């Protein structure tokens, strides 16, 4: 007869499932920092469906997603599930785990009670028409990240997973090591192996961003196993040794370069020339590290906004930049000339499907993938581990917590098939990487459920605009336009033709026109040659916040205001700033 509840690390007899279990729960009324959001509770052990498995969790991996789940932003995962019909008013997180199968649904054939398993975090409905027709489950509308978008993750004595998530635990790894690598390694596997003609192969060269980070450390090893050469990007030479031990041919310290960030405007000759100098020097560094003049045909991307311009530029003709995140920002700029002329590919990638996760795990089972475990915690320390992440005070590499395992270092059976060196991170290493959003958000279905409410004081454009248009004609010289600007203390002049606004000459347009010309030459140019054609307009009756979105979205500082489609004035960012100061 099963006990009602077992203590943590008091393992029930194999296959005996108690009706209740210990778990760390997040509830909406305590959304906030991890130390407050996570609380220990006892809940009913979940029942399983025919294609599901109940796993007794020995150890669980820590990922940033559950910091977000605890904060309740950008998505209230509990509210979203309740809206979708799930009754539980709590969230049990945890998207990585190792453990032992305790119960299987009647349709399960790939695992049996007693099997030692690790789990990947991709869930989807087996009844989805797309999946049934053989489509990649990663494209299924039912796809969810277990333990973040779904409940019953691994921060509990038992976790409920789909049978297809279960994979053999590498015998040579202890419980905490085995629980730490799956999410990042499977993601890196799909990025490198999942994209047809650009899939990594022997002889390829891969540039790996964040080589000492969670994804990058896996990518280096996966590239090595494929017979490819990798170059690891890091932020300090103290991380070189770590990446080289994992298999990188060489490393580059990104702090030696300063051309990062969005591309300069393509009209900005001076800015572009400076950027080009920076990125060429970076390309030369790649050649130096490689020992030959070759461009990487694969670029493994996740920093996003600050690095994509460089990644696209240095990627070889016909090569691929594959991206799974935008840690530094989402508005990546691309010089399309290099993309189309050299026929490069910018490919998005997200987690991995069952087949890819198993291919990755095969590497781990064969001893060819070090889990890069940097720190393991006890069950009681689950909030502490997340709090460290929240404060960016955690080490690089992958972290894990014990759940059912009685102590650290247990669960390994024998030596690894291949002896690989466990690399260690530099002393005192802590994180400094921002995590703007969880890896899955905002998924459309959840985003729809949780509409963002905007605070707005109701100010309209007509309340703040400057009435009257200070304009010039297309044939006016830049010298004349400059005088209009100075006399009227304005930053841009609308170009009017036949009663219609056909363009704007801004200060930026004039300064860019001056590049490579003498003052006299620039002064003699015509407004129509320099202006930004077309005129961004907004109606006087729209909300000021809408006008601000238009300006920031189009990277503009002003809009021509219209009434009945006729230009009547101008609203500028300066007006908005004045209003803020005025308040």
Phi (first) and psi of residue 119, to 5 degrees? -130, 135
How far the first Cα of the chain sits from its last, in Å, is 70
User: Could you tell me which of 404, 412, 323, 324 has the C-alpha nearest to residue 364?
Assistant: 412
Q: Which of 58, 207, 324, 400 binds ligand NAP (CB under 6 A)?
A: 324
Q: Which of 392/521 has CB closer to ligand NAP?
A: 392
What are the angstrom distances between the C-alpha of 283 and each of 219, 277, 299, 371, 396? 21, 10, 13, 31, 27
Distance (Å, rounded) from C-alpha 496 to C-alpha 482?
Answer: 16
Of 107-115, 228-236, 289-297, 359-367: span binding ligand NAP (CB under 6 A): 228-236
Task: List the beta bridge partners of residue 517.
Answer: none
Asked whether the beta carbons of 144 and 123 are under 8 A apart, the reply is yes
**How many other CB atoms are found less than 10 A from the CB of residue 169?**
27
Applying CB under 6 A, the span of 7-15, 22-30, 86-94, 214-222 interacting with ligand NAP comes to 214-222
Contact flag: residue 215 with ligand NAP (CB under 6 A): yes
Task: Name which of 102 and 240 has its Cβ closer to ligand NAP.
Answer: 240
Span 339-358, contacts to ligand NAP by CB under 6 A: 350-351
**Three-point CA angle 231, 295, 277, nearest 5°:** 95
Q: Which of 154, 310, 328, 562 binds ligand NAP (CB under 6 A)?
A: 328
**Token pair of 549 as six digits:** 């979105």
370: which 2 tokens? Answer: 């070090």
**H or E element that contains 60:** strand 52-62
* Contact partners, residue 344, CB within 8 Å, separation at least 6: 312, 315, 316, 317, 318, 319, 320, 321, 338
Does 579 contact ligand NAP by CB under 6 A?
no
Q: Is 389 in the site for ligand NAP (CB under 6 A)?
A: no
- CB 232, min distance to ligand NAP, A: 9
Considering only 182, 327, 354, 374, the residue that binds ligand NAP (CB under 6 A) is: 327
303, 309, 383, 404: residue in contact with ligand NAP (rule CB under 6 A): 303
CB-CB contact of 100 with 116 (8 Å)? yes
Q: How many CB atoms lie within 10 A of CB 57?
A: 29
Q: What 3 state SS string does 264-311 have?
A: CCCCCHHHHHHHHHHHHHHHHHHHHHHCCCCCCCEEEECCCCCCHHHH
**214 binds ligand NAP per the rule CB under 6 A:** yes
CB 419 within 8 A of CB 313: no
Give the helix, strand, coil percentages of the chain, each rounded to 5.
35, 20, 45
C-alpha span between 502 and 560 (Å, rounded)? 11
**Residue of 174, 187, 356, 562 interacting with ligand NAP (CB under 6 A):** 187
Site for ligand NAP, residues 164 to 183, rule: CB under 6 A: 183
Q: Tokens 């976790």 identify what position?
A: 159
- Whole-angstrom distance, CA of residue 313 vs CA of residue 294: 13
Q: Tell me which stretch binds ligand NAP (CB under 6 A): 156-164, 431-439, 506-514, 533-541.
A: 431-439
Stretch that binds ligand NAP, among 90-98, 210-218, 360-368, 399-407 (CB under 6 A): 210-218
Instruction: Decide whether 45 or 353 has the Cβ nearer to ligand NAP.
Output: 353
User: Under the criterion CB under 6 A, does residue 386 sit at the interface with ligand NAP?
Assistant: no
Stretch of 5-13, 28-36, 377-385, 428-436 lying at the interface with ligand NAP (CB under 6 A):
428-436
Question: CA 570, CA 468: separation in Å to the nearest integer?
Answer: 8
Residue of 58, 212, 513, 530 interacting with ligand NAP (CB under 6 A): 212
User: Quick check: 144 binds ligand NAP (CB under 6 A)?
Assistant: no
302 binds ligand NAP (CB under 6 A): yes
Using CB under 6 A as the binding rule, whether residue 46 contacts ligand NAP is answered as no
| CB closer to ligand NAP out of 23 and 208 | 208
Does 286 bind ligand NAP (CB under 6 A)? Our answer is no
User: Residue 213 or 404: which CB sits closer to ligand NAP?
Assistant: 213
231 binds ligand NAP (CB under 6 A): no
| Residue 439 contacts ligand NAP per CB under 6 A | yes
279 lies in the binding site for ligand NAP (CB under 6 A): no
Tally the residues of the chain: 583
Stretch that binds ligand NAP, among 69-77, 150-158, 427-435, 566-574 (CB under 6 A): 427-435
- With CB atoms as reference, the residue minimizing the distance to ligand NAP is 213
The answer to whether residue 210 forms part of the interface with ligand NAP (CB under 6 A) is: yes
Distance CA 538, CA 548 (A): 10
Kindly give the interhelix angle for 354-365 and 182-193, rounded to the nearest 10 degrees. Answer: 110
Longest CA span, the chain: 96
Work out the angle between the directed axes of helices 354-365 and 214-225 (0-180°, nearest 10): 80
Q: What is the dihedral of CA 124, 128, 134, 139, to 10 degrees?
A: -60
CA 388 vs CA 63, 392, 496: distances in Å? 11, 6, 58
- Interface positions, 62-81, toward ligand NAP (CB under 6 A): 64
Q: Does 21 bind ligand NAP (CB under 6 A)?
A: no
Structure tokens at 444: 């459309």
**144 near 117, Cβ under 8 Å?**
no
Closer of 103 and 302 to ligand NAP (Cβ): 302
Shortest distance, CB of residue 191 to ligand NAP, whole angstroms? 9
Least Å distance, CB 298 to ligand NAP, is: 16
Min dist CB 138 to ligand NAP, Å, is 9
Which residues are registered as beta bridge partners of 494? Answer: 471, 504
Q: Which one of the spans 21-29, 46-54, 209-217, 475-483 is the region binding ligand NAP (CB under 6 A)?
A: 209-217
Among 239, 249, 259, 558, binds ligand NAP (CB under 6 A): 239
Residue 20 within binding range of ligand NAP, rule CB under 6 A: no
Question: CB 218 → ligand NAP: shortest distance, Å?
Answer: 8
- Among the listed residues 39, 142, 433, 508, the single contact to ligand NAP using CB under 6 A: 433
423/370 Cα distance (integer angstroms): 9
Stretch that binds ligand NAP, among 269-277, 364-372, 433-441, 442-450 (CB under 6 A): 433-441
Q: Write out the residues near ligand NAP by the rule CB under 6 A.
A: 64, 183-184, 187, 209-210, 212-216, 233-235, 239, 254, 302-303, 306-307, 324-325, 327-328, 350-351, 396, 431, 433, 435, 439
């Amino acid at each position: 007869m099963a006990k009602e509840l077992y203590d943590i690390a008091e393992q029930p007899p194999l296959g005996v499932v108690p009706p209740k279990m210990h778990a760390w729960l997040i509830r909406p009324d305590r959304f906030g920092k991890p130390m407050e959001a996570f609380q220990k509770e006892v809940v009913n052990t979940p029942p399983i469906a025919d294609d599901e498995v109940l796993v007794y969790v020995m150890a669980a991996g820590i990922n940033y997603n559950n910091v977000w789940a605890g904060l309740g932003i950008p998505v209230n995962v509990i509210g979203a599930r309740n809206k979708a019909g799930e009754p539980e008013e709590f969230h049990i997180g945890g998207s990585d785990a190792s453990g032992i199968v305790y119960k299987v649904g009647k349709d399960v054939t790939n695992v049996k009670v007693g099997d030692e398993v690790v789990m990947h975090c991709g869930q989807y409905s087996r009844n989805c028409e797309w999946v049934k027709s053989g489509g990649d489950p990663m494209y299924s509308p039912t796809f969810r990240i277990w333990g973040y978008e779904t409940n019953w993750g691994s921060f509990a004595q038992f976790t409920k997973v789909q049978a297809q998530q279960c994979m053999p635990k590498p015998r040579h790894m202890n419980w905490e090591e085995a629980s730490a690598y799956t999410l990042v390694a499977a993601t890196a596997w799909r990025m490198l192996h999942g994209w047809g003609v650009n899939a990594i192969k022997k002889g390829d060269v891969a540039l790996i961003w964040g080589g000492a980070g969670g994804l990058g450390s896996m990518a280096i090893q996966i590239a090595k196993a494929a017979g490819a050469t990798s170059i690891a990007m890091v932020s300090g030479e103290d991380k070189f040794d770590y990446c080289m031990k994992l298999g990188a041919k060489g490393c580059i310290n990104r702090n030696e370069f300063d051309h990062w960030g969005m591309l300069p405007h393509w009209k900005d000759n001076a800015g572009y020339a400076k950027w080009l100098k920076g990125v060429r020097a970076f390309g030369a560094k790649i050649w130096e590290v490689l020992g030959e003049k070759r461009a990487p045909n694969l670029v493994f991307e996740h920093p996003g906004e600050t690095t994509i311009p460089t990644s696209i530029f240095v990627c070889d003709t016909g090569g691929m930049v594959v991206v799974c995140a935008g840690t530094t920002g989402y508005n990546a700029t691309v010089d399309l000339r290099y993309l189309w002329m050299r026929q490069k590919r910018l490919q998005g990638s997200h987690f991995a499907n069952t087949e890819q996760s198993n291919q990755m795990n095969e590497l781990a089972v064969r001893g060819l993938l070090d889990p890069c475990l940097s720190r393991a915690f006890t069950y009681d320390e689950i909030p502490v581990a997340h709090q460290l992440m929240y404060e960016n005070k955690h080490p690089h590499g992958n972290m894990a917590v014990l759940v059912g395992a009685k102590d650290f270092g247990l669960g390994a059976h024998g030596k690894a098939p291949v002896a690989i060196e466990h690399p260690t991170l530099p002393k005192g290493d802590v994180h400094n990487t921002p995590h703007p959003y969880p890896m899955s958000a905002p998924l459309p279905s959840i985003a729809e459920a949780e509409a963002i409410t905007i605070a707005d004081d109701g100010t309209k454009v007509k309340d703040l605009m400057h009435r009257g248009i200070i304009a010039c004609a297309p044939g006016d010289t830049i010298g004349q336009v400059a005088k209009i600007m100075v006399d009227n203390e304005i930053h841009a002049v609308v170009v009017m033709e036949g009663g219609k606004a056909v363009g704007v000459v801004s200060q930026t347009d004039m300064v860019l026109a001056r590049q490579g010309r003498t003052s006299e030459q620039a002064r003699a140019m015509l407004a129509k040659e320099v202006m930004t054609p077309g005129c961004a307009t907004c109606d006087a009756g729209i909300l000021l916040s809408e006008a601000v979105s238009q300006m920031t979205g189009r990277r503009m500082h002003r809009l021509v205001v219209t009434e009945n489609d006729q230009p009547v004035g101008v609203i500028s960012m300066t007006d908005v700033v004045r209003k803020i100061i005025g308040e």
